[in-house]
Structures are given as C-alpha cells and as structure tokens.
C-alpha cells in the first residue's frame, strides 16, 4: 500500500507531462514548417512582383525601340538623307548607341562602307564583325504581337517618341525630300504590328551589349545597339525607391547582373555578407544570367529563441508539476504517517490507561485484604499500598488531562487564567509529587529556585508542563541518575529549566519531538510507554501563555527551557 501511492502519483505526473511534451513538440514543428512556407511564399510573391515590373519595362522599351525606326522606308534604298537622319537620331537619343540595317541576303546597308562610315561606326563594325558574317545570330528569342500597356510605375521616363519627333521636325524644316513629318510619328508608334522582332546580347570586350532588332516587310534586318548605362538607369528608375520599399517591410531585394554584381537593391533590411537568399528568380531574355534575390532576417535565431522558450516553458511546467507531485506525495505520506500515529496513539492511550487502572485495582484489593485479614494491619504496608494508589491516580489524572487538553487544542484556542502565584512554590509542589517516583528509579532531583516573587501566572499550565517534563525524565533519563530544575525571573519573563543526564535527544529530532504523536522511542516493547502528545501539549500551553518551550543543545542528556510571559503581581 505504501509503495502503490508513490507509483500511482509518479504515473499521474509523468504520463500527462510526457503527452504534453510530445504534443507540444509536434505543434511546434508544424508551426515552424508553416512559418517557413509562409516566408517562402512571401519571398516568391515579392520577386514575381519585381520581375513583373522589369518585364513591363522591357516590353515598353521594345515597343519604343520598334517605333523609333518605323519612319525608314527602305523600299527605295538608303540614300544620304536617310543616313544623315539615322545619325542625327543616334546623336540625339541617349538610348541609342548605334543602328544597323542588313538586307535579306545579309549585305550591310548601315553603317555604310568603311570609307563612308564615321569613326564610331567603324569601331562598331569592327566590334561586331562576327554579326555581319553570321546574320543568323539574330533570331527571335520571343515574338511579341500584342500591344503593350503603359508602365504602371507613375514616375516619368525618358520619351523616345518625343525625341524622334523633334529630330524629324528638324529635318522636315530643311525641306529634305522624302523626309517624314513630325505628325507621322504617332501613327508610326500606334501601328505596332511586328513581323518578327527580338533581343540579342553580344559580348564586346568585358561588357555584354544589348541589341534590339526587327524585320520589315521586305525582310530587312533593322537593329539597334542600346546604351547599357541608359536603359539600366531607366530600369532602376521604375523599380521601387526608398519610399516604396517601406511596403516591403523588414526585407531586401537585390538585382544581380551576369557577373553577379549587385546592380540595384531596395528594402530596409541590412543583409549580412554570409547570408543566403530565401528565394531567387532568374530573369528572361535579354537579362539572361541576371537574377533577383530576396533576403529577410534569418528565422534561425528566432526559431532557436522560440525553441528555447518553448522547451524552457515545458521544463518549468514539468518542474511545477513535479513540485506539485512531490508536495502531494509528501502530504500523502504525512497523512499516512499521522494516521498510523493516531492508531498508535489509541493503542498507547489504551495501554497508558490500563496500566494505572490495573495497579489501582490491584493495590486497592491488596489494601482491602490487609485490612480484613489482620486485626492489627501493618501500618507501613498500608502506607505503601495507599501511596501506590495515590501515585497511579495522579498518573492517570495527568494522562487524562493531556488527552483532554490535546483534544481541546485541536478544536478551540487554548485559554489561560493568570493569577498571583510564586513560581517557586508551584515548581516545589509539583516536584515534591514526583520525588518518590524519581527516587524509585534512582534519579536524584535537585532544585535551584530563584523566582520567589509573585507573578501573574496560570498555575495549571505550569503544573501540566512540569508534569510532562518530569514524566519524561522518569521514563527516559533513569540511566543518568540525575535531574535538575532551575527557575529564573527577570523583566516580566519567568523561565524554568529541566535538565537531565539521560541518553538525550538526537539533533534531527530537536523540533520534530514537539509534533503530535512523536516520541524518542515509540514501541511498547521497549518497556517505556507514552502517548507522544505531552511535549506537543506543553509547547501549545507555553505559547498560549505568551512564551515557548524549547529544547536547548546539550553535550549529554536533555535540556528543556520553558519561558512564560508573567508580569509581576501588584502588591496587596
């Protein structure tokens, strides 16, 4: 039975805690997966949005590049006036680095032959020599036949159509024959019906150049070498700026070129050098090799912190449950021990009541027999028999008094009734009653009485406490053969010390000995009986009288000190 309760209690504590830890761990792992998925989805959405801005920009650039050379009518060839117009357009349009025109068979119309080409045109011919040798390099990376909508970004961009219109207007004012007018530009731009067009990238030196080209109805290949610096600045202009980046939150998006250099970035988050991107997105032609990367604060530290908090919470919870379980186990054991002590107490009280009653009955019968048998009874024998009856009656009275006091103390507060008494007189009278019993055990009782003054004290309390202390001396200190009582009075406090030379009390029992049902030796077979409530009642009585009963440390024997609050009685 004693083992079953701890085992059940341990199971009651451990099984729910283990189940809670298992369930909490699974929920925590699922939450981590959900958060990681949410972070990945957010990163993908942000990069897709940024790619949409870039795609819109190049669609717009493609539309403008196509429209910028629609004024050329190559059905009658390329005369000097048109060559001059092309050169003027190249000089005025910062987006244009150079223009080239090839016949369907691959012959170059523009730039013109080397002796007619300008210095920049000759350099361009030299740098792109392989292009002229293999025109098949110009092929449609993609075809665009739908009309491109306006850029969603509201910031102003450079208008190539307006620049083209100004150049055409300048040439029209010269009355050049065959020159299109400024009014024809919007119609050319609105036309937007593309036969075939595309992008081509070409490495010139250490730079990758970007070419836009299209074929007209006569299969002429008309192309433009675009200014990398200008279209890149235009692209950056349409990407989110510092103000728009606030919507990104605590994150950062970087745009990398083919050499993996950061071209542009936006966002509030400062990316550590060694951090990898949460998500990346490769860009299509003509930005093949370019990529967008999304960075955000690593969830590793946050996850580790959350994990630490989670498991720390579980640990604290487990410790709390363990403490509660330990407390319940301790209380359960204490209740069991007290129940056992109550059973023992009943047995001991029964034994304690039986012994004096048996002695009283036996010596009463012996006294009756002595009186009835002899005409002249032995006076000494009669006194001996009556003394035993008297002593056993006093012993029985003390036992009953202790039991009644213990019962009353558990139901109602103890009340004291102080009256003027001399402490020495009370001690002397009580000790006198115990001297015969102590002498019978071979114990010499000495007294040092130093409190003759009358004080306000409850004599019954002092007598009951002394009875219990001297009774313990009789039971447990007979081997010491010596006991001493000392009284002191000072400043309204009376002190009584009861000292013996017996076997003493262990240090670990110094306080426990005052608990109900606790005894230095509790087995009846030891030959020393007792109820185990005497010291508990004595301490309760002392504290009710404004004092205390304590056990002082001693090298041998037991040294009890009774202190009582006893104001000096008024004279008269």
Predicted TM-score (pTM) of the model is 0.49
- Residues whose CB falls within 8 Å of the CB of residue 569, separated by 6 or more in sequence, listed in order: 420, 421, 453, 454, 455, 456
Q: What is the pLDDT of residues 196-207, one digit of tens each?
A: 888 888 887 778
Task: Choose among 534, 450, 535: nearest CA to 493.
Answer: 450
- Rg (alpha carbons) of the chain, rounded to whole number: 57
pLDDT > 80? residue 399: no
- What's the pLDDT at 476? 86
Task: Burial-class residue 302 by CB neighbours within 10 Å (0-12, 13-18, 19+).
Answer: exposed
Task: Please give the average per-residue pLDDT across 320-349, as a whole number.
Answer: 75
pLDDT > 50? residue 144: no
Q: What b-and-e string marks burial along 91-114, b requiring 16 or more CB atoms within 10 Å of the CB? A: eebebbbbbbbbeeeeebbbbbee
d(C-alpha 229, C-alpha 403), whole Å: 107
User: 205: phi > 0 → left, psi -120 to 50 → alpha, else beta; which?
Assistant: left
Task: Please give the average per-residue pLDDT across 317-338, as a whole number.
Answer: 79
- What's the pLDDT at 523? 39
Task: Name the 3-class secondary structure at 214.
Answer: strand
Among 50-54, 146-150, 326-330, 372-376, the range scoring the smallest mean pLDDT is 146-150
- What's the pLDDT at 48? 92
d(C-alpha 391, C-alpha 369), whole Å: 20
User: In the predicted model, what is the mean pLDDT of the chain?
Assistant: 79
Omega prior to 111 cis, within 30 of 0 = yes
Show me where the domains of the chain are located.
4-52+239-299, 69-147+157-224, 412-565
The answer to whether 538 and 525 are in contact (CB under 8 A) is no
CATH number of 412-565: 3.30.565.10
Cα atoms found within 13 Å of the Cα of residue 479, Cβ hemisphere only:
8
Task: Please give the average per-residue pLDDT across 225-251, as a whole number.
Answer: 85
More confident residue, 4 or 73: 73
The answer to whether 482 and 444 are in contact (CB under 8 A) is yes
pLDDT > 90? residue 413: no
- What's the pLDDT at 106? 80
Task: Please give the average per-residue pLDDT across 405-411, as a whole number.
Answer: 66
DSSP 568: B
Q: What is the pLDDT of residues 258-284, one digit of tens each?
A: 889 999 999 888 888 888 898 999 999
């Amino acid at each position: 039975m004693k083992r079953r309760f701890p085992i059940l209690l341990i199971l009651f504590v451990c099984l729910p805690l283990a189940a809670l830890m298992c369930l909490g761990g699974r929920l925590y792992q699922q939450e981590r997966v959900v958060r990681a998925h949410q972070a990945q989805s957010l990163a993908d959405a942000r990069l897709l949005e940024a790619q949409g801005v870039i795609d819109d920009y190049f669609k717009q650039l493609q539309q403008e590049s196509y429209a910028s050379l629609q004024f050329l009518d190559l059905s009658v060839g390329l005369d000097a006036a048109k060559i001059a117009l092309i050169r003027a357009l190249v000089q005025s349009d910062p987006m244009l680095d150079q223009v080239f025109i090839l016949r369907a068979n691959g012959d170059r119309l523009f730039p013109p032959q080397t002796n007619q080409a300008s210095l920049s045109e000759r350099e361009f011919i030299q740098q792109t020599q392989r292009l002229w040798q293999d025109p098949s390099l110009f092929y449609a990376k993609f075809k665009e036949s739908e009309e491109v909508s306006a850029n969603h970004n509201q910031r102003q961009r450079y208008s190539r159509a307006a620049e083209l219109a100004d150049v055409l207007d300048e040439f029209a004012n010269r009355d050049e024959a065959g020159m299109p007018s400024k009014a024809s530009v919007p119609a050319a731009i609105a036309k937007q019906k593309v036969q075939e067009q595309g992008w081509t990238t070409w490495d010139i030196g250490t730079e990758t150049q970007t070419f836009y080209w299209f074929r007209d109805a006569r299969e002429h290949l008309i192309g433009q070498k675009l200014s990398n610096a200008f279209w890149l600045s235009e692209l950056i202009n349409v990407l989110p700026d510092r103000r728009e980046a606030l919507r990104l939150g605590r994150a950062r998006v970087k745009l990398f070129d083919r050499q993996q250099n950061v071209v542009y970035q936006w966002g509030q988050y400062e990316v550590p050098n060694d951090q990898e991107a949460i998500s990346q997105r490769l860009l299509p032609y003509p930005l093949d090799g370019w990529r967008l990367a999304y960075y955000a604060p690593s969830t590793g530290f946050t996850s580790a912190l959350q994990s630490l908090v989670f498991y720390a919470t579980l640990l604290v919870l487990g410790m709390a449950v363990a403490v509660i379980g330990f407390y319940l186990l301790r209380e359960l054991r204490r209740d069991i021990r007290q129940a056992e002590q109550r059973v023992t107490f009943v047995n001991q009280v029964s034994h304690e009541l039986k012994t004096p009653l048996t002695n009283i009955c036996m010596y009463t019968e012996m006294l009756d027999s002595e009186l009835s048998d002899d005409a002249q009874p032995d006076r000494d024998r009669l006194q001996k028999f009556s003394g035993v009856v008297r002593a056993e009656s006093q012993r029985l009275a003390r036992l009953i008094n202790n039991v009644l006091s213990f019962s009353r103390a558990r139901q109602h507060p103890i009340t004291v009734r102080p009256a003027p008494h001399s402490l020495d007189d009370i001690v002397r009278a009580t000790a006198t009653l115990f001297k015969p019993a102590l002498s019978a055990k071979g114990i010499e009782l000495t007294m040092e009485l130093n409190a003759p003054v009358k004080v306000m004290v409850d004599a019954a309390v002092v007598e009951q406490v002394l009875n219990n202390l001297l009774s313990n001396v009789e039971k447990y200190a007979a081997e010491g053969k010596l006991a001493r009582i000392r009284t002191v009075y000072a400043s309204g406090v009376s002190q009584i010390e009861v000292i013996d030379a017996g076997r003493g009390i262990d240090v670990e029992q110094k306080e426990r000995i005052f608990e109900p049902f606790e005894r230095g030796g509790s087995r009846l077979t030891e030959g020393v009986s007792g109820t185990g409530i005497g010291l508990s009642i004595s301490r309760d009585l002392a504290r009710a009288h404004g004092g205390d009963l304590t056990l002082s440390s001693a090298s041998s024997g037991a040294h009890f000190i009774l202190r009582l609050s006893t104001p000096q009685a008024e004279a008269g």
